[in-house]
Amino acid sequence: MKALKQFSIPFTGLKLGKHQFDFEIDKSFFDAFEYSLVKDGALKAKLDLDKQETMLLLNFHIWGTIQLNCDKCLAEFGQPIEIKERQIVKFAEDELESDDLEIIVLNRKESEIDVSEMIYEFINVAIPYINNCEQAGTDQKCDPEMLATLEKLATGSAENEEEKNDDPRWEALKKLK
């Protein structure tokens, strides 16, 4: 994950108070994650980090376009997204698991925090459940050739169903009623 080194923030050298970090997210970011739903995108992320004595408050603002495949026609299209999320990082003597998904517990000995996985998860959660060219908010329409092929295949399977029902063996059984 060397490609994600810029997403590691050394917070020990920071003074108490607010700090801002800006990140560019592109294909290399998504390539660093195996089995990623998103393969490409052009996004910007702004992180407002508020360092306090016992915790870090992280406010993320991520916006841009990710490339997805349409579930209907399989064409690639750009899906615009905008995300605003908050994450709390508390310091403790030992890394305990927190029940709250918004709170991460870090050991006091840690000197930096990697925000790449958080950004990746926020982007993946923002992906629509059904990816469709026409619902992406852009002017792109589904591929008419692919839709025609799907329609042709769908009507062909209905005809095959009718042929299966005309089996003469079933006719003999129907007469027994």
Q: What is the pTM of this model?
A: 0.77
Q: Of 55, 56, 25, whose CA–CA distance to 41 is shortest?
A: 25
pLDDT in tens, 53-97: 889 999 999 999 999 988 888 888 889 999 999 999 998 876 666
